[in-house]
Amino acid sequence: MKGTNPLKNAGSRAKDWWSEQRGFSNLIVIPAIWAIVSMLVTGVIYGGWDVGRYIYEFLPTDMPEPFSEDRLGILVARLDNDPDGEYTLRVRTALEQQLPMTATGEAAVEVDLYPKTLTLPAEGRLSQNIANATNEGRTWLEAQNAELLIWGRAVPTEKQIELRILTRQPAEGGGQAQPEVYPLRIPSEFSDRLGATLAGVVAGAGYKAWNQRGKYLTPEQREAMLAWMDRLKSLRGDLPDALDAKSRERIREKIETAYLQIGAALVADSKNDEGIAIVEELFGDDSNPESWPSGQVLLVAEMMADYFETLAVQGVPLPPETVESLLQTSNELFALIEQLYGLGEISENEFLYFAGNLQKLDGHLTAKLDRAEDARDHFKRADRLFNSLMEQKDAPEDPLSVARIKSYLGSIELSLASLSSGDEVSKHLDAAITDFGQALNLLDAETAPREVVRVRTLLSVAYNNRWRDSYDARALYASAETLEPVVPILREHQRTEELAGIAPQIAILYGLHAVIAGGESSAEKALAAADSFAKEAGADQIPVKAQTTFVECLSYLGEGRAMAADGDALSEKVETLEKASDRCEAAATLYEQLGNAFSWMNAKSLSSSALRTAAHAKDDVALAVAALACADDAAEKTDGIDNPILANQNAYSKGSALREVGRLKKNAGQLEESVEMLRDARDKLIERNASVADRLPIELQLGDSLVTLAALNKDGGKNLEDGIEMLDETRDAFAAGGAALMLKDATQALKEAKQFQAEMSVN
Q: What are 61-93's pLDDT values in tens digits?
A: 667 888 877 667 888 999 999 888 888 888 888
**Residue, of 540 and 384, whose pLDDT is higher:** 384
338-373 pLDDT per residue, tens: 888 898 888 899 899 989 999 999 999 999 999 999
Which whole number is the average pLDDT over 131-149?
Answer: 89
Going by pLDDT thresholds of 50, 70 and 90, the confidence category of residue 316 is confident
Domain assignment of residue 699, yes or no: no
Domain assignment of residue 226, yes or no: yes
Share above pLDDT 70 across residues of the chain, in percent, rounded to a whole number: 80
Q: What is the pLDDT of residue 147?
A: 80
Range from 126-140, 243-257, 435-449, 748-762 that averages highest in pLDDT: 435-449
Domain assignment of residue 387, yes or no: no
Range from 164-168, 292-296, 360-364 that averages highest in pLDDT: 360-364
Which of 562, 577, 611 is the C-terminal boundary of a domain?
562
**Contact at 8 Å (CB) between 120 and 126?**
yes
Which of 242, 270, 298 is the C-terminal boundary of a domain?
270
List C-alpha distances in Å: 692 to 355, 706, 742.
35, 20, 14
**Residue, of 299 and 666, whose pLDDT is higher:** 666
Which whole number is the average pLDDT over 709-736?
Answer: 92
**Residue, of 560 and 4, whose pLDDT is higher:** 560
How many domains, the chain?
Answer: 2
pLDDT at residue 7 tops 90: no
Which whole number is the average pLDDT over 703-720?
Answer: 91
Q: What is the pLDDT of residue 185?
A: 78
Domain assignment of residue 53, yes or no: yes
From 267-281, 539-553, 719-733, the region with the lowest mean pLDDT: 267-281
Report the SS3 class of residue 446. Answer: coil
Exposed, middle or buried: residue 406 (CB in 10 Å: 0-12, 13-18, 19+)?
buried
Range list of H helices, 270-398? 273-282, 294-314, 320-342, 348-368, 372-390
pLDDT at residue 203 tops 70: no
Q: Which residue, 665, 695, 677, is CA-closest to 631?
A: 677
**Residue, of 255 and 577, whose pLDDT is higher:** 577
Q: What is the pLDDT of residue 657?
A: 96
Instruction: Determine the structural domain holding residue 87 and report its residue range.
Output: 35-270
**Residue, of 53 and 723, whose pLDDT is higher:** 723
End-to-end Cα separation, the chain, in angstroms:
78
The structure's pTM equals 0.81
Domain assignment of residue 376, yes or no: no
Domain assignment of residue 178, yes or no: yes
Going by pLDDT thresholds of 50, 70 and 90, the confidence category of residue 276 is low
> If you ran DSSP here, which 8-state letter would residue 27 be given?
S
> If you ran DSSP here, which 8-state letter would residue 156 be given?
G
List C-alpha distances in Å: 146 to 101, 138, 141, 219.
18, 9, 5, 22
Share above pLDDT 90 across residues of the chain, in percent, rounded to a whole number: 42
Q: What is the pLDDT of residue 233?
A: 73
Which of 562, 586, 612 is the C-terminal boundary of a domain?
562
| Averaged confidence pLDDT in the chain | 81
Domain assignment of residue 246, yes or no: yes
List C-alpha distances in Å: 92 to 55, 89, 729.
12, 5, 73
Range from 128-142, 225-239, 653-667 that averages highest in pLDDT: 653-667
Which whole number is the average pLDDT over 624-649?
Answer: 88
pLDDT at residue 240 tops 70: no
Exposed, middle or buried: residue 474 (CB in 10 Å: 0-12, 13-18, 19+)?
middle
Q: What is the pLDDT of residue 174?
A: 47
Domain assignment of residue 160, yes or no: yes
